[in-house]
Amino acid sequence: MSAPSGAMRERVRIAIQKSGRLAEPARALLSSCGLSWRESRDRLFCHGDSTPIDLLLVRDDDIPGLLAEGTCDLGIVGRNVLLERASGYGTGEVPPFREWRGLGFGACRLALAVPQAWSDSQAAALDGLRIATSYPALVSQWLKERGIAADVVTLSGSVEIAPRLGTADLICDIVSSGATLAANQLRATDIVLDSEAVLAGPVAPFGDARAEIAGLFLRRLDAVLGLRDSKLLMFQTDSANVPALMALLPDAERPTVMQVDGTDRVALQAVCRGTVTWQRLEDLKRAGADALLVLPVERMLA
């Protein structure tokens, strides 16, 4: 499992969070790309069954480092964690990893949060105050860009209690549902970064069999991500209504129109990329569509 980073390898290793907010959705996404694994007893390394892609189950914060040292080839991690580590590289140094794809889950914000009792003007005057965070590089950069002279206090966890303990005046932390802030009588003010789960990979291309494996995986991933909200829409109508109906379906891709035998009616089917709501179906019905059917799209290979 610990081949040196420079070695030629014939399998790809993807690191994902072992437990936490991103763990389950990351696994589900990989499964929908057709990946499956043999569960190992230690639950740290899972050998890929259906594809030569193995799983490494780790702490999310470790993923950028594992990518940098070549212990894993790809990783699913929060953009916040990835960018924090990338910002830690000095000027002139290029981080060896980068974001390959946004994955559309695990949405959260890295935000400043102040005690609820603070007034807006108090929350806007940060010079000379202490900000506790686990994201010192991102916060320092944000402060610098705005010319704010605040002190950054780096904490590795339990950032939200720092104001109550007196170790900082305010915090900058990840806000997802907002429950943690509310439980600690804090309120979010400025957003430093909008984040979500991303696929991270190396900056340099793979020089061995991993290039082809990663390419196959990316094609599947793009298909899965592209289909997320897609639906197959089917209905019948009089041929005369088709132009008006198509105007209601700007997101329909290459619709198929079939003549219904011996009538001037047509059956139409199209993949719609946007959400097909009840409202849209009712609009179509009013414009002359009937026998409307909306089906999930499981796979598509263009």
Backbone CA torsion sign across 143, 149, 150, 156: positive
**Do 201 and 97 meet the contact criterion of CB atoms below 8 Å apart?**
yes
- The least distance separating Zn ion from the CB of residue 61, rounded to whole angstroms, comes to 4
- The least distance separating Zn ion from the CB of residue 185, rounded to whole angstroms, comes to 23
- The least distance separating Zn ion from the CB of residue 290, rounded to whole angstroms, comes to 52
- The least distance separating Zn ion from the CB of residue 84, rounded to whole angstroms, comes to 11
178 binds, among Zn ion, ligand PRP, none (CB under 5 to 8 A by kind): ligand PRP
Tokens of 44: 């740290």
Which position among 25, 45, 47, 61 is part of the footprint of Zn ion (CB under 5 A)?
A: 61
| Amino acid at position 251, single letter | D
Closer to ligand PRP by CB, 180 or 269: give it: 180
What gap in Å lies between CA 2 and CA 290, rounded to an integer? 60
**Do 37 and 47 meet the contact criterion of CB atoms below 8 Å apart?**
yes
Asked if 251 is part of the footprint of Zn ion (rule: CB under 5 A), the reply reads no
Closer to ligand PRP by CB, 52 or 75: give it: 75
Site residues (vs ligand PRP, CB under 6 A): 20-21, 60, 173-180
Closer to ligand PRP by CB, 2 or 177: give it: 177
- The least distance separating ligand PRP from the CB of residue 89, rounded to whole angstroms, comes to 21
| Strands, sheet with 37-38, edge to edge from the N-terminal-most edge strand | 37-38, 45-48, 53-58, 12-17, 74-78, 197-202, 97-102
Closer to Zn ion by CB, 13 or 85: give it: 85
- The least distance separating Zn ion from the CB of residue 18, rounded to whole angstroms, comes to 10
Stretch that binds Zn ion, among 56-64, 158-166, 198-206, 219-227 (CB under 5 A): 56-64
156 binds, among ligand PRP, Zn ion, none (CB under 5 to 8 A by kind): none
Asked if 60 is part of the footprint of Zn ion (rule: CB under 5 A), the reply reads yes
Asked if 173 is part of the footprint of Zn ion (rule: CB under 5 A), the reply reads no
Closer to Zn ion by CB, 80 or 230: give it: 80
What gap in Å lies between CA 278 and CA 264, rounded to an integer? 27
5 binds, among Zn ion, ligand PRP, none (CB under 5 to 8 A by kind): none
Closer to ligand PRP by CB, 96 or 178: give it: 178
Tokens of 204: 């340099």
CA 9 centroid distance within chain: 27
Hey, is 213 helix, strand or coil?
helix
Backbone angles phi, psi at 112, to 5 degrees: -75, 145
Interior/surface letters 84-102, b for 16+ CB within 10 angstroms, e for the rest? bbbbeeeeeeebbbeebee
What gap in Å lies between CA 250 and CA 242, rounded to an integer? 13
Question: If you search the block for the tokens 């379906």, which residue do you land on?
Answer: 249
Residues in contact with Zn ion by CB under 5 A are 60-61
